[in-house]
Amino acid sequence: MATTPLPMAPEEATMTSEHALVSVRGLTVRYGTRTALDDLDLELPAGRIIGLLGENGCGKSTLLKTLAGLYADYTGEVRVGGHAPGPRSKALVSYLPDRSSLPDHVRVRYCLDLFSDMFADFDTAKAREMIAGFGLDESMRLKEMSKGMREKVQVSLAMARRARVFLLDEPISGVDPAARDGILDRILGNLEPGSSLLVATHLVHDLETTLDSVVIMRHGKVLLEGEVDDLRAEHGSSLDQIFRKVYRS
């Protein structure tokens, strides 16, 4: 059955309106002896498209999983819409992992039914419209699809929720360059008004024109963050050039 989002307590509603939509303080995650996130501080406002940039292994996926409430073995403070990770925060978040967890043998229509049962805010009509717009058939099995086609199904499912925070982990990494613009257009066109999109990627050039702000990470820390227009003006360079320069230094 669908999970119904829990109502906010009055004090939590006030917290959400007066503070950042996503707030992280001193977040540290370790996998054995390896530190994935190292005393990370971050605040993300509502109504923004934010690029989470960095090389593979820099902590992007770990941060998204923690914000999505899927990873609880951390120290520090995490708030999404004023809530610590749990049922209330999960009701606000739509998360697209970098690897599909959907069974290979199922058809697309099964995925639609599954998401409709799992999420009270899932808009089946919107998902069907996106899937059809990608030229996909609901009767197709996932195992019959290319990696790019499956990516389009997952994007459609994730963006069809009426969420406040969308967390997308490398949504275009498995897609050929010719199809990336189409996927990005549908992601942006289906973003809920007033919600925020945090998209992890290392394909900086493809996303540069869509981003309001960026967070550049390395070794579990934030190297640089800010508004894209301000950073371009300050450095006199494109975002892609700034990213390369930061990493070289």
- Residue 216 falls inside a structural domain: yes
CA distance 113 to 117: 6
pTM (2 d.p.): 0.89
Q: Confirm whether 202 is domain-assigned.
A: yes
> Tokens for 149?
């086609």
Q: Is residue 28 part of a domain?
A: yes
Half-sphere exposure of 78 (CA within 13 A, CB side): 26
Q: What is the pLDDT of residues 143-167, one digit of tens each?
A: 999 988 999 999 999 999 999 999 9
Residue 4 lies in a domain: no
Q: Token digits for 42? A: 């971050």
The pLDDT of residue 162: 95
CATH number, position 200: 3.40.50.300
Count other Cβ atoms within 10 Å, centred on residue 58. 23
Task: Using DSSP, state whether 195 is helix, strand or coil.
Answer: coil
The count of structural domains within the chain is: 1
Q: What's the DSSP call for residue 193?
A: T
DSSP string, 147-179: HHHHHHHHHHHHHTB--SEEEEESTTTTS-HHH
Residue 7 inside a domain? The answer is no
> Encoding tokens for residue 111?
């995925």
Q: Is 215 exposed, middle or buried (0-12, 13-18, 19+ CB in 10 A)?
A: buried
What is the pLDDT at residue 11? 37
**Among 3, 230, 247, 207, CA closest to 116:** 3
- Give domain status of residue 172, yes or no: yes
* Residue 12 covered by a domain: no
pLDDT score recorded for residue 31: 94
Amino acid identity for residue 100 in this structure: S
Return the beta strands (E) in 45-174 as ranges. 49-53, 75-80, 93-96, 165-169
Q: Is residue 6 part of a domain?
A: no
Give every residue of the chain whose pLDDT is below 50, as ranges: 1-18
Residue 165: domain span: 18-248
